[in-house]
Chain A
Amino acid sequence: MELLYGHPKSLKPIQTKYCPGCGHGVIHRLIAEVIDELGIQGKAIITNPVGCSIWADLYFDFDSVQPPHGRTPAASTGIKRMLPDHLVVCYQGDGDLAAIGTAEIIHAANRGEKFTTIFVNNAIYGMTGGQMAPTTLIGQKATTAPYGRDPIDAGMGYPIQVCELLATLGGTKYLARGAVNNAVNVKKTKQYIKKAFEAQLRGEGFTMVEILSQCPTNWGMQPKESVEWLEQNMIPFYKLGEIKNTLDGEAQK
């Protein structure tokens, strides 16, 4: 009998420690499926960030490097420059990428480093327990924004649209934003990841897929509620789709 659907080879057959309803597990699976489809498990390396997804190296069945918080793009730069024929996946959360590691992501993107960033945006700090993230929406509550994010009177700044920010940089070739709140968005997100990985393997330049993901625990919601909240609050502000696509020729489509 032909196996139509199974557990990806690149993902270990173990249960994750992620909370119920968390998006990381789905995102891990998408990455693993694409790596399997590209047949590149033996040449894949992930840099797992500080944050909940620091556990990523427990689940992916390929090599990993764990750098300091926010320095993930710098470490990925070092790895990819040494191993240009490998698939280097720079996995980052919103705190890692858009707060402490802002300098590193901007300059790695601007140099056109040929790895792929998977940017998981759940608008909150997960591992440390629900603090305000650079991508926390206006009015959204966090332990460090107990009355909601207030950009003006409390001077908390505005949520950062990372894809749009990076799109101005010459080194970026492909920037897409997906979500994992429903099956349709999961499927589209996988296509974005595949396009980005294929572009990386062709050596095209900086590629990133931002993925809107739910964090029911720190949002203080049930998983079902959280996917609805993402749909109603995050997607209107963080527009889904290919934000920038300057890939060569056919690959654009």
Chain B
Amino acid sequence: MAEEKRLMKGNDAIGEAAIRAGCTAYFGYPITPQNELTAYMAKNMIDNKRTFIQAESEVAAINMVYGAAATGARAMTSSSSPGISLKQEGISYACGADLPLVVVNVMRSGPGLGGIVPSQADYFQSTRGGGHGDYYHFVLAPKSVQEAADLTYEAFDLADEWRMPAMVLADGLIGQMMEGVVLPEKRDLSKLPKKPWAVGHQGELKRPINHVTSINLVPQELEATVKARFERYAKIKASLQRFEELNIDKSDLVLVAYGTASRIALGALELAKADGINVGLLRPITLWPYPEKRVSELAQQGKRFLVVEMSMGQMVEDVRLAVNGRAQIDFYGRTGGMIPTEDEVYAEIRRILKK
């Protein structure tokens, strides 16, 4: 039976969901606007007799996660944009070593130190493999506190199943706001997936020794390894593109937005509806793999698109790739921590539809 709905801050809900998913090791470093998450873990990981370390840096934190994940533990770190930049080295190594782990980014504005208020300007960094090398990893974009909890919980399963990092890409608004949330059940740690590739207990398991590593100085071998990884990526792209849509059938214009921006797009859609104007909404839930099939289908059906982001236009490039010249694409975004309003987006809708 589902638990009672609780009122929780996004950051706290992410922390609780991670614990329930079986996260036994959390390593973090303070940065606004995700501090409540680190504090939540500090208290609750210890109360649950699990591992919490406030690391000396984001660099150290991700590498502690790397070490813990190498032993097969469900491990995670969280940070906000500048800190995530620092973690990219470790994420690249984890992708190269096929390590499952979870990274939460509660985005703030940049570049550089930027500001501390909500933003979506880390889309490129998150979905293109933000470090060096040929790789991708899961990127999940919650729109609410409920979904922040659900996607964090699921991120651990996806990471384990596909042996790669999974990132939950939230923003300062999702992290700081409170909403009602029904939390998922607490996982029995003894029933989590077995990881025969992990280090530790080699003697008692009587298995061959394991190496968790990303190095390979033989180009032919490394190419084969990367290609095998890309076959896995292809399978993920074929089966796990996820999105939510609304009012598509009746509309010529489809708004495309994720996370917080999708909430604003929904508000603009409702304003339009009240004036008798139909627009649709496509909300990607997985940013990698991107729901390109659905965008492509809609382009084929003759839809046009308005992409709304809290950035100067990053996801819009994935829409362009999927549309491939077959439809008109407009963009509306605010940056620097400015959040578009429902009215602004609605005005853009009217401008495009000349209504």
Contact = CB atoms under 8 A, between A and B. Distances in A.
Whether chain A touches chain B in the assembled complex (some CB pair under 8 Å): yes
Contacts of A165: none
Contacts of A64: 199, 209-213
Contacts of B211: 57, 63-66
Nearest to A39: B203
B46 to A, nearest CB: 13
Contacts of A62: 202, 209
B214 interface: yes
Contacts of B75: 78
Nearest to A57: B211
Nearest to A50: B215
A62 B71 CA distance: 14
A78 B69 contact: yes
A103 B57 contact: yes
Chain A interface size range: 20 to 34
A61 B51 CA distance: 29
Contacts of A74: 55, 59-61, 63-64, 66-67
A63 B69 CA distance: 14
Contact of B63 (A42, A43, A67, A81): A67
Interface string A42-54: 1101010000001
B113 to A, nearest CB: 20
Given A42-B202, A64-B212, A68-B93, A107 B68 contact: no
Contact of B59 (A63, A71, A81): A71
A86 interface: yes
B200 A82 contact: yes
Contacts of A57: 211, 213
A251 B250 CA distance: 79
Interface residues of B, number: 40
Contact of A43 (B59, B73, B201): B201
Nearest to A100: B59
B105 interface: no
Contacts of B308: none
A92 to B, nearest CB: 13
A78 B212 CA distance: 13
B179 interface: no
A107 B25 contact: no
Contact of A79 (B60, B70, B214, B215): B70
B56 A63 contact: no
Contact of B67 (A41, A43, A47, A61): A47
A66 B67 contact: no
A172 interface: no
A226 interface: no
Nearest to A107: B56
Given A71-B60, A74-B60, A79-B199, A66 B212 contact: yes
Contacts of A43: 200-203
B182 interface: no
A68 B213 CA distance: 10
Interface string A117-141: 0000000000000000000000000
B215 A66 contact: yes
A167 B57 CA distance: 22
A63 B63 contact: no
A77 interface: yes
A78 B57 contact: no
A61 to B, nearest CB: 6
Given A63-B209, A67-B66, A71-B90, A82 B73 contact: yes
Interface string A100-121: 0001101100010000000000
A65 B60 contact: no
A83 interface: yes
Interface string B44-63: 00000001010111011101
B24 interface: yes
A218 interface: no
A196 to B, nearest CB: 19
B89 interface: yes
A74 B97 CA distance: 16
B136 interface: no
Contacts of A82: 24-25, 51, 67-68, 71-73, 200
Nearest to A64: B211
Contact of A104 (B60, B69, B97, B204): B60
Contact of A68 (B61, B70, B90): B90
A41 B202 CA distance: 9
13 contacts: A43-B203, A45-B200, A63-B202, A66-B214, A67-B63, A71-B66, A74-B64, A77-B53, A78-B25, A78-B71, A82-B68, A82-B73, A107-B60
Interface of B: 24-25, 27, 51, 53, 55-57, 59-61, 63-73, 75, 89-90, 93, 97, 199-204, 209-215
